[in-house]
Every structure is written in structure tokens, then in C-alpha cells.
Structure 1
């Protein structure tokens, strides 16, 4: 019997895919896991961010950073400024607080100047909130308390909030209710991978001779929109219109009911497995349960 391969439509959580929890959990059930990203991040409003950095923080009381992608956008701006040999009129970004969600984002900011040999005055130095937060809502409450300790900012100053294209209004709402001004600047956006189909073709050529693609796992409706045209050109995916016919292509799995509903209702696909929770164990349980019911043991 051929080895069952699972296509995991996301980037692995580490550079070494074999260390990703989805890889390990699926492998323990006898499946081969292959990762392929369907979405990619891109910087946006770069000139606005460059101008902000060059102007210095005279009108900024602090900077809110809730993801590593926003840190990367700041790093990219510093790199452009230093490469162009532009000079900051005020500088001083190392003298105001940067508020981070979680220790990983905070460490990216703290090490920015030394890791990249950047001008320190353009980089974060005072990084707060990481140990006390972990979520945007917790960070907002921490920030309110910290501002109260530091003293109310000058009326001309506001918090600079670096965002992506998908952002909750929770942080802004909490801060505004506390009388803290917030200026948002979108610095990155998530979009469909421009190389998905070519990446998929390259990946499929790496399958061993005894492997076959048995499952495709979707993590979001947006990821499904990106991946399905290419997958449908290569495979016969079971649809709700032909569910009674003999199915020869890979089965479809979904992380959670929202993605499952999109695949069923909008894409008319038969979803064989739905993870009850958005985690590796729930996914592996759903896939192996389906295969067990359909007398398809993994070799």
C-alpha cells in the first residue's frame, strides 16, 4: 500500500519543517506532511513609514507593534533610509516606548539595531508589555496603565499603531476610551501567493515513488481561494454534485467549521475531515478517523 501524503496549505512554523507540530503529529499517525504557503505578506505605505521615521517621534508618544511582520516593515524602512543616506531631522526613536505583543515580537525589536547594524536612534530600545500581554487586548490594558504611570502625553502626541490589512478595532477602542490618541498606519498586507502553482508543481515532484497525495488541508477561506484553481487543474476533487461517483482524487480537510462551510457552500466540495479545534492533534484525529471509517489504513 502506498504512503499517504497530506498537503498542509500553510507555512511551517519553523525553518525546519520537520520541527513543526503538524508535521510531527501527522507523522505519528503514519502520514507524510508537506507544507506549501498559500498566502504571503507584502509591505505597503512604505513612503509614509519612511517619512514618519525621518521626521522623528516629536508627535508620537509610543509605538504599538502586534506582529513580527510590523517589525519587519520597520526594519525595511530603516534599511531604505540608511541605504539612501537620508538623515533624520529629529531622530530619537530609541527614547520612546515601543509596546509589543508577546516575547518573540519584543525580542525582534530589542535586537534590531545590533542584529542589523542599524543606526540606534532609528530603532526601538525601550520595549514594554511583552511579559504582561500576549494578546492585543491585554497589551492595550497594559499600555493604558503604563501611560498613567508616565503621565499623560502632550495633546499634540498620539500612539503610532502599526497594522496589517486585517486588524481588530479592540486595541484602538480601549485606548480611545482611556483618552489616548491613536494614529494607525498600515505597513503590511496579506495577499495570495504569487508563486503557489509553481511551488506546488515543484513540491509534487519531490514525492517518493511510493507516496500519493491523499489529503489537502485548508486553513482559511482566503487560502482556499488561492489554492483551489491550481489543485482542480491537477486533481479530481470530490464535489457535492458528484458525491455518489467514484472518487479518485485527494480528500479535503478543513481547520474549523468556518473554513469547512466555505469549502462546502461556496466551493461545493465534499469535506472529509473537519478539525474540531485549530490544532495539529485535532486535524490528525479527524483525518485518521475518516480513513479508519473508510477502511483506508495507513501503511
Structure 2
């Protein structure tokens, strides 16, 4: 884009993340004309900010093959639901790893077809007990997610194999989990942990009541299959199927421990929830990150059509590299003078142009920048989504630089 086509309200936005495919909601949001902070039709075009997003990939992810093989075996044999009462996802990478596991299991013809009947009943010789039959097949299996992106990915997975089950007139292995998705409204790990405490404990209490405490009618099962074992017979209170099972938390190498601590240490008595953390991927800074960032900044410097730039930090990892590149950290990784004497009021920075607007996607990243690196972000998005991010940047620039 030529410099002559840009206005003084043109703001490049460096998004320190890998661009999602086939579409990226952050790109769509920042390329959209008009303001989210002021959507009035009377707002003049001169007052509107024009953003140009630039993606700078920071992290690369590698799967833990041995862990995924173990998860595949648990799902394939039915042990997953026998051992765990649900799962927790707080990253897109974890959902992608889980999707790979499910796809591998469902693609394995021997795991699916050799179970005999289309309903996963007894084995062909009639001697083997089907691990998908009985109480486990009736009990819901909650999947707890931290936001709408993880919810959509898991919902897509569920719909895909529910559709496959309908087409084949039989349940797929994944459909037998009887999944339900919860927590997308929470937005962060702390809120999700609090939500899980309430939801999962209530779920367990209802499960206990339905299969142990509730009275049984002599001719109509209260809940579940109309069978002698599961419809009418009250389970013993010591039956392991009534025990509150741990949750399986798929994580990366770098993660906070807020969820396990809240569920296991901050809860009281019977409300404690055991959590098994399983590392399904590791995260590393891409070797090309610093050079990629340098190249984009140099291109913007050559263009010279902007005096304000925004850089959005999505993860603590790589933020020190970025701060050194824009001159906010010195060679000893201490806050540089340029970072210390930022002055946004009345359009002044007290430092050389261009002005860098430092933006954090959420409180975790904000706290890391401030507490670990000594640099206070200018903006922290109210919610970790594109609309909230753009609105925060627009509001700050209009209030502080007008």
C-alpha cells in the first residue's frame, strides 16, 4: 500500500501470533471499516482509524507422540470414560491434539468394525464384554473449555462424528463418550476453574442421586436403559461407577496451574476435584521470530506513513524479544529509557517517532509484561477476542491522542 493512500489515522497493528487458516477473525476485525468504539453512522471518515494487521508468528508447537498414543488407547478401549469423568481444554493446540487422537481412532477399521454389532454390543463370539456398554455409555461426559474458539473446535468434532454415526446407523466410538461442552463464557482459567467447581460437583451429586438414592418404580426405570443391571437395580454406594472421577486436563509444556490448584487445593472437603494433567504438546519460540519482526518494522520504517503503531502480545513467550526489538528493553533486559518516558497525553510521547502502543490480550500477559519485564502495557483487552481488542485500541488512541 503506497504511503500517499494512507492518512494520519492509519495504524499498523502487529499481531504476535500465527494467522489462523482458512480465515482469521483478528484480520477480519481489523480490516473492517469503521469504529467499534463508536458505531454511529454520523461518525466522519476522518475520525475513524484505519488499521492494517500484520501477523508475526511467535510459537511453534510439537506434539508428544507417546502421550497421544496413550490417549488413543484409552479412547479405543473405553478406558477413558471408565477412568475420567470429563476433560478440560484451555488452548487451541490441546483441542488440535485431541482431534488428532479421535480421528486416528475413528479411522482405525479394526477398532470400529471388529466390535461386532452396529450398536457396539457383544463381540462377534459373544464372549467379550463391550467396554462401551452399561452405565458409562449413559453418563454424560463434560468437556470444559475456556472460550468460544475451543468450544467451536470441539463442537465441530462432535458434530462430525455424530453425523457419521447417523449415516452408519451406529454409534462411533467418539459418540459413545456422550460429550457436552461447558464453560465457553468464562474467558480465562480462573473463571473456568470456579465454574467447574460448581458444575462438576452438581453433576456428580445428580449422578449419585439417580443411581443410588432415588427410589425405583416397580415397572418403569427411573433413568437409563431398561435393563436389569442399569434400569431398575440400585447400585451399591461403594460401586466405583458412583465415585467422583478425576478430570483429564490436556496441557502444553508452558501453562499456569490455576485450574489444578483451584480444584484440588482451594476447594473444601468433598468438593475437591482431582485433576490429571497430561502434556500433549510443547511450545517453543520460532527461530525466525526476531528476524521476521525486524523485517516488518523495517518495511514500516521505509514506508514512513504512520506515526503510531500497535503491537499485540498474545503470550508471555517471546515478549522479551519483541520489547528489545522496539527499544523498550536494553541489552541487560531492563526497561529502556524509551519505555520509561512514554507520554501519550496530548499526543506527546517524550520519545522518538514512531510511537508504539503496547497491547496485552489479557491479564496474564499484562501481568507478565509489567511484573517480569517491568514494562506497563498501554492497553489490556477486556475480553480475549478481536472485537474487544480493537475497541480497546480505538478507545485508547481517541482518548489519549486527540
User: Is 2:75 the counterpart of 1:66?
Assistant: no
The CA deviation at 1:146 is 1.8
User: Is 2:185 the counterpart of 1:110?
Assistant: no
Contact 1:140-1:171 at 8 Å conserved across structures: yes
Q: Which of 53, 76, 91 matches 1:54?
A: 76
Equivalent residue pairs, number: 287
Q: Which of 5, 9, 14 matches 2:12?
A: 5
Cα separation, 2, equivalents of 1:53 and 1:203: 45
Matched residue, 1:130: 182
The CA deviation at 1:141 is 1.8
Summarize the alignment of residues 1-299 of structure 1 with structure 2, pairs less than 5 Å apart: 3-10=10-17, 15-20=24-29, 25=36, 28-44=48-64, 45-57=67-79, 59-67=82-90, 68-82=92-106, 87=111, 92=132, 95=137, 96-101=139-144, 104=151, 107-114=155-162, 120-123=172-175, 125-128=177-180, 130=182, 134=186, 135-151=192-208, 154-155=239-240, 158-165=245-252, 166=255, 167=257, 168-169=259-260, 170-173=262-265, 174=267, 177-178=270-271, 182-193=275-286, 196-197=289-290, 200=293, 211-212=305-306, 214-225=309-320, 227-228=322-323, 232=325, 236=327, 240-243=335-338, 247-255=352-360, 259=365, 263=369, 267=373, 273-275=378-380, 277=382, 279-280=388-389, 281-292=391-402
Contact 1:133-1:139 at 8 Å conserved across structures: no
Contact 1:175-1:181 at 8 Å conserved across structures: no
Contact 1:109-1:127 at 8 Å conserved across structures: no
User: SS where residue 222 of structure 1 aligns?
Assistant: coil
Q: TM-score with structure 1 length normalisation?
A: 0.68
Question: Of Structure 1 and Structure 2, which has the larger fraction of its residues in strand?
Answer: 1
Segments of structure 1 that go 5 or more residues without pairing to the other structure are 293-299
Cα separation, 2, equivalents of 1:6 and 1:159: 42
Contact 1:215-1:253 at 8 Å conserved across structures: yes
Cα separation, 2, equivalents of 1:48 and 1:115: 26
The CA deviation at 1:224 is 0.5
Using a 3 Å threshold, how does the CA distance of structure 1 residues 72 and 290 change in structure 2: closer, same or farther? same
Contact 1:40-1:191 at 8 Å conserved across structures: yes
Contact 1:73-1:187 at 8 Å conserved across structures: yes
Cα separation, 2, equivalents of 1:268 and 1:50: 44
Using a 3 Å threshold, how does the CA distance of structure 1 residues 225 and 69 change in structure 2: closer, same or farther? same
Contact 2:14-2:312 at 8 Å conserved across structures: yes
Cα separation, 1, equivalents of 2:142 and 2:57: 29
RMSD, aligned CA:
4.6
Using a 3 Å threshold, how does the CA distance of structure 1 residues 149 and 274 change in structure 2: closer, same or farther? closer
User: SS where residue 74 of structure 1 aligns?
Assistant: helix
Cα separation, 2, equivalents of 1:29 and 1:132: 31
